[in-house]
């Protein structure tokens, strides 16, 4: 499972011109479900999103989590995070989970994030979404439950 985590001042996701998810201060998380991802991958990603210390403390050091900040999370599915462009110029998506299983893992991740007590909004799985955000910093962190980077 891969995630791109961005610290944002605000973010929203729209489908067919209608906002379906929106947050103010917090984290915009793009989530890609890889083939074979399971509960352990979900736990890893959820714990990292909840606990990663990328918000500044009083001294300006990145020492606070989204939970410490009272921020929110906007979770957006993005299978292209599992794309591989090492061969050629067109991405191969062999590493991405099949849609039905990916939807289940996405829904489980969404539920697990909500169970942390964080305010969580979401995009629509497999929809053509438009995402708007105001990055803060910018600060962007890459997560991979297989710890590839």
Could you list the active site residues? 78-80
Contacts of 126 (CB under 8 A, 6+ apart): 77, 99, 103
What is the SS3 assignment for 4? strand
CB 29 within 8 A of CB 81: no
Give the distance, in angstroms, between the CA of residue 70 and the centroid of all CA atoms in the same chain.
18
Helix (H) or strand (E) holding 112: helix 99-115
Torsion of CA 28, 140, 112, 92, to 10 degrees: 90
């Amino acid at each position: 499972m891969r995630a791109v985590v961005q610290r944002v001042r605000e973010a929203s996701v729209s489908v067919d011109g209608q906002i379906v998810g929106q947050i103010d201060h917090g984290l915009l998380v793009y989530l890609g479900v890889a083939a074979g991802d399971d509960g352990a991958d979900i736990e890893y990603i959820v714990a990292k999103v909840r606990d990663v210390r990328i918000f500044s403390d009083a001294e300006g050091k990145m020492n606070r989590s989204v939970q410490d900040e009272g921020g929110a999370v906007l979770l957006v599915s993005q299978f292209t995070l599992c794309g591989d462009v090492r061969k050629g110029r067109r991405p191969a998506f062999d590493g991405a989970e099949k849609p039905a299983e990916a939807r289940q893992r996405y829904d489980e991740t969404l539920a697990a994030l909500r169970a942390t007590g964080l305010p969580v909004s979401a995009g629509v799985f497999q929809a053509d979404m438009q995402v708007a955000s105001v990055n803060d910093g910018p600060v962007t962190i890459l997560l991979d439950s297989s710890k590839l980077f």
